[in-house]
């Protein structure tokens, strides 16, 4: 009896072991999923089908053999392939499309994308194999290959999966309604997160106008209130926050941009709304203390808050007072030692740009000035790289923006330093017929860094550039370049209008503006 039991156990363990090995080698999977060794189909077709199911209209790429099957398959399905001159530009362009049209942003994998017969050939299996070891290796490679392609062309559901977006609870919204209704001097700080789907930006704008609370707009939320809203406060944020009795952080993070929360009045009631818990509580209980924290979508929260406060509006005296204190510190008439005043140039462009313009920000000092001076005409009309100011986004962001909104005027505000990252994309603009306007503030310097490096360390080492002829580079790539100096000050309007005309006729333009130094951004920090 014991022998029979032992024998049964031995057989059971052996059988179980064989089943486990068969499972690990994919033999069981292959029993139920056919490997079509003669099929000409490839993995790129599967990827393209998924992209189409998700509504992807553009694929940005720097061509490579490992993704060629995807590109060819996408083209056959009517998805536009846009090839760039740098892979970073491709990613930035996809980012811009995701921001403006949402919500898909994809980077391609490297995988087994080619047809079975080509992959089999690349495996380099020798037929017939020699010796026992050769036969084992050959069998293993053949089995592995079949396992990769087993069931590859079976019909699958590739439709988008549901997305969970955290929302504020009814109790949280009600508590915030009560706090806001009692506030005499409330302020809203709106961040990029407030522009994310699914809440339409125009609905958020209506909600903010209904609340009547003065707003400071940052990142992608610039333009949310239009060009000349009485609720949009642009200057003296630090003083406004010290005076406010309630602050609503709607997608805004207490990082270095808010001095880690130290600019907030400790006596103020603070409501923080953010999708990400880490960002929501960043530096809290160290430099600031929120009264209500909501891990949820800022946009939909603002709509619910506005609905709950229907009929209640912030006293007009408070936003008027902040607007009166919103004194323009831009010294546009200040004469520079040489070349043009950058603030004058930015004011001029701001006055002349079309109402449907999209502004792409790529740079340091010049772009920092533009953020104060240039006024996006509406929601989702300002694209910048975010908190850390990643240089090089200009070409990609502009490419994506122009493809999403071909009728809009797209402006890239470049520093001369950041231009070096993506000036080659003028070739892309020309080939793909995406005419944009690049405004280059050329002061022959990494001025954002120089502003602090020189006074702190006493040296301008590595900060100097040259007054390079970037306009000629644009010409060489098929665009239209124009050099603008102090001698052109009186005809600056005409030059800008001519650039706008060139883009309407289908030609990308670059305005190489030689600018001097001002004290407008004195004391800005970049460490």
Domain extent listing, the chain: 1-30, 33-162, 170-324, 342-514
- CATH superfamily placement of domain 342-514: Thiamin diphosphate (ThDP)-binding fold, Pyr/PP domains (3.40.50.970)
Per-position DSSP letters for 451-491, written without gaps between them: HHHHHHHS--TTTB-----HHHHHHHTTSEEEEE-GGGGGG
**Is it the case that residue 166 has pLDDT exceeding 50?**
yes
Q: Where does the pLDDT of residue 139 fall: very low under 50, low under 70, confident under 90, or very high at 90 and above?
A: confident
How large is the average pLDDT for residues 485-497?
96
Peptide bond into 103 cis (omega under 30): yes
**Is it the case that residue 392 has pLDDT exceeding 90?**
yes
**pLDDT tens, position by position, 169-182:** 999 999 999 999 99
Tell me if domain 170-324 and domain 342-514 are identical in fold: yes
What is the three-class DSSP state of 253? coil
Q: Which pLDDT belongs to residue 125?
A: 64
How large is the average pLDDT for residues 153-176?
92
Report the 10 Å Cβ neighbour count for 214. 25
* Residues near 302 by beta carbon (within 8 Å), at least 6 away in sequence: 194, 204, 207, 208, 211, 250
Quote the CA–CA distance of 473 and 343 in Å, as a whole number: 25
**pLDDT tens, position by position, 21-76:** 777 777 777 877 787 777 878 888 999 999 999 999 999 998 887 888 999 999 99
* Residues near 426 by beta carbon (within 8 Å), at least 6 away in sequence: 438, 473, 474, 477, 478, 479, 508, 510
Q: Which pLDDT belongs to residue 200?
A: 92
Q: Which pLDDT belongs to residue 414?
A: 98
What is the three-class DSSP state of 411? strand
How large is the average pLDDT for residues 220-226?
93
Question: Looking at residue 265, what DSSP letter applies?
Answer: -
- 27: burial class by Cβ within 10 Å (0-12, 13-18, 19+)? middle
Q: Where does the pLDDT of residue 401 fall: very low under 50, low under 70, confident under 90, or very high at 90 and above?
A: very high
For the entire predicted model, the pTM comes to 0.87
Q: Where does the pLDDT of residue 119 fall: very low under 50, low under 70, confident under 90, or very high at 90 and above?
A: confident
Higher-confidence position of 335 and 452: 452
Quote the CA–CA distance of 179 and 242 in Å, as a whole number: 18
**Is it the case that residue 421 has pLDDT exceeding 50?**
yes
Token pair for residue 27? 């033999």
C-alpha triplet 316, 257, 348: angle, nearest 5° = 70
Least confident range of 256-265, 311-320, 455-464? 311-320
Instruction: Return mean pLDDT, the chain.
Output: 89
CATH number of 170-324: 3.40.50.1220
**Is it the case that residue 123 has pLDDT exceeding 80?**
no
């Amino acid at each position: 009896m014991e022998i029979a039991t032992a024998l049964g156990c031995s057989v059971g363990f052996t059988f179980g072991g064989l089943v486990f090995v068969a499972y690990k080698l994919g033999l069981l999977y292959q029993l139920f999923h056919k490997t079509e060794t003669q099929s000409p189909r490839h993995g790129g077709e599967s990827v393209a089908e998924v992209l189409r199911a998700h509504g992807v209209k553009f694929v940005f790429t720097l061509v490579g053999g490992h993704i060629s099957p995807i590109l060819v398959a996408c083209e056959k399905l009517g998805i536009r392939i846009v090839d760039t001159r740098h892979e970073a530009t491709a990613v930035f362009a996809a980012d811009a499309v995701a921001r403006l049209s949402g919500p898909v942003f994809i980077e391609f994998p490297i995988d087994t994308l080619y047809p079975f017969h080509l992959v089999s050939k690349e495996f380099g299996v020798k037929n017939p194999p020699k010796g026992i070891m050769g036969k084992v290796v050959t069998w293993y490679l053949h089995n592995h290959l079949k396992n990769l392609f087993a069931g590859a062309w079976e019909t699958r559901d590739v439709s988008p999966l549901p997305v969970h977006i955290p929302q504020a609870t009814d109790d949280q919204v009600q508590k915030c309604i009560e706090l806001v209704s009692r506030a005499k001097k409330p302020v809203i700080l709106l961040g990029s997160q407030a522009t994310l789907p699914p809440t339409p930006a125009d609905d958020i704008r209506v909600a903010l106008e209904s609340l009547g609370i003065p707003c400071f707009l940052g990142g992608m939320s610039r333009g949310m209130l239009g060009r000349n809203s009485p609720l949009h406060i642009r200057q003296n944020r630090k003083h406004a926050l010290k005076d406010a009795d309630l602050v609503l952080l709607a997608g805004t993070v207490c990082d270095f941009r808010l001095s880690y929360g130290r600019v907030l009045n400790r006596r103020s009631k603070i409501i923080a709304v953010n999708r990400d818990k880490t960002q929501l509580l960043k530096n809290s209980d160290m430099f600031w203390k929120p009264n209500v924290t909501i891990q949820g979508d800022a946009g939909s929260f603002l709509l619910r808050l506005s609905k709950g406060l229907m009929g209640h509006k912030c006293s007009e005296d408070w936003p008027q007072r902040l607007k009166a204190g919103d004194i323009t510190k831009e010294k546009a008439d200040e004469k520079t030692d040489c070349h043009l005043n950058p603030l004058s140039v930015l004011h001029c462009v701001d006055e002349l740009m079309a109402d449907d313009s999209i502004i792409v920000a790529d740079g340091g000092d010049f772009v920092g000035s533009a953020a104060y001076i240039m006024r996006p005409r509406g929601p989702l009309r300002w694209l910048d790289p975010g908190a850390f100011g990643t240089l090089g986004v200009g070409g990609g962001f502009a490419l994506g923006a122009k493809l999403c909104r071909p009728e809009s005027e797209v402006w890239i505000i470049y520093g001369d330093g950041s231009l070096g990252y993506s000036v080659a994309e003028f070739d892309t603009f020309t080939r793909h017929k995406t005419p944009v306007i690049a405004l280059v503030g050329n002061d022959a310097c990494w001025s954002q860094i120089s502003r602090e490096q020189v006074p702190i360390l006493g040296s301008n080492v590595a900060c100097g550039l040259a007054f390079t002829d970037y306009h000629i580079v644009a010409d060489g790539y098929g665009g239209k370049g124009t050099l603008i100096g102090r001698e052109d000050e009186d005809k600056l309007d005409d030059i800008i209008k001519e650039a706008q005309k060139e883009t309407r006729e289908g030609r990308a333009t670059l305005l190489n503006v030689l600018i001097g130094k001002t004290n407008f951004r004195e004391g800005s920090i970049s460490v």
